[in-house]
Chain A
């Protein structure tokens, strides 16, 4: 499933990396502790978090995540957005809480692999 399908299904607002929405999502990871995300997330994951500061861009780009979803109405900080645009890292935002965003994406991804 590509990022664009998830954006449509969850009505996400895309804040950066609009040209990367064809990227394939291989899985997902939820976390606000950056060391946890660094150690346990995988390439091609969609990363769901509430962290909005600029260091999330470095983590997503090092781990080659498909993109980052900020939940519960969080918006990327100004310098985060600048870095994400420069680095071509898709950041999307949702008004839904993390539990709901995760559940919906999990259901979408499982449907595809069943």
Chain B
């Protein structure tokens, strides 16, 4: 993991701002495409970034998404300042959601986000502290698909 990254950067996500939701993930996707990663890997990473971004917008005051790309994997971290998750096991259950009506009306908050993030990542870690925030760490293997 100490090899020189192909890309390293972080992106700020504002909580509650649905107007620009998806912009960070769109940006991340185009960065990954430019690096020349395989379509499948870019597709997985874009989904992981999008769901992480929507979670911050939906539930946190603010947060950031960190992206680090090395030749054999993509690391995405979503770190937010928010209320935190009281019961992670419950939050990971498909269909469980604490989303309010406004969020649900837009087609978010179906209790699928975290499950999708986990299933599209090769390594998934979640930690949360009540009243402080949540930290997600995902790794997607690139399987030496980088076109140099």
Please report A residues at the B interface, Cβ cutoff 8 Å.
32-36, 38-39, 43, 49, 51, 53-55, 57-59, 61-62, 79
A-B pairs with beta carbons under 8 A, tally: 60
- B103-119 contacts to A, CB under 8 A, are 106-108, 110, 112-113, 116, 119
- CB 8 Å contact bits of B77-115 with A (1 = contact, 0 = none): 000000000000000000000000000001110101100
Is A35 in contact with B46, judged by CB distance below 8 angstroms? Answer: no
A residues near B112, Cβ cutoff 8 Å: 33, 35-36, 39
Q: A34-B106, A43-B39 are in contact. List 7 more A-B contacts (CB 8 A).
A: A35-B112, A36-B112, A43-B43, A55-B22, A58-B25, A59-B50, A79-B19
Partner of A35, one of B21, B23, B39, B113: B113
A37, closest chain B residue (CB): B107
Partner of B106, one of A38, A51, A79: A51
B22, closest chain A residue (CB): A58
Q: List 7 A-B contacts (CB under 8 A).
A: A34-B54, A34-B106, A35-B116, A38-B50, A54-B19, A59-B50, A79-B19
Please report B residues at the A interface, Cβ cutoff 8 Å.
18-19, 21-23, 25-26, 29, 39, 43, 46-47, 50-51, 54, 106-108, 110, 112-113, 116, 119-120
B residues near A34, Cβ cutoff 8 Å: 54, 106-108
B residues near A55, Cβ cutoff 8 Å: 18, 21-22, 106-108
With A38-B51, A55-B18, A79-B19 already in contact, the answer to whether A62 and B25 are too (CB < 8 A) is yes
A57, closest chain B residue (CB): B22
B residues near A57, Cβ cutoff 8 Å: 22
**How far is it, in angstroms, between the C-alpha of A58 and the C-alpha of B106 when the chains are bound?**
13
Most buried by A among B26, B50, B113: B50
Is B26 in contact with A35, judged by CB distance below 8 angstroms? Answer: no
Q: How far is the CB of A62 from chain B (nearest CB, A)?
A: 5
B residues near A61, Cβ cutoff 8 Å: 22, 26
A residues near B39, Cβ cutoff 8 Å: 43
Q: How far is the CB of B5 from chain A (nearest CB, A)?
A: 23
Is A58 in contact with B116, judged by CB distance below 8 angstroms? Answer: no
**How far is it, in angstroms, between the C-alpha of A21 and the C-alpha of B64 when the chains are bound?**
36
Is B19 in contact with A51, judged by CB distance below 8 angstroms? Answer: no
Partner of B107, one of A33, A39, A43, A62: A33
Q: How far is the CB of A37 from chain B (nearest CB, A)?
A: 8
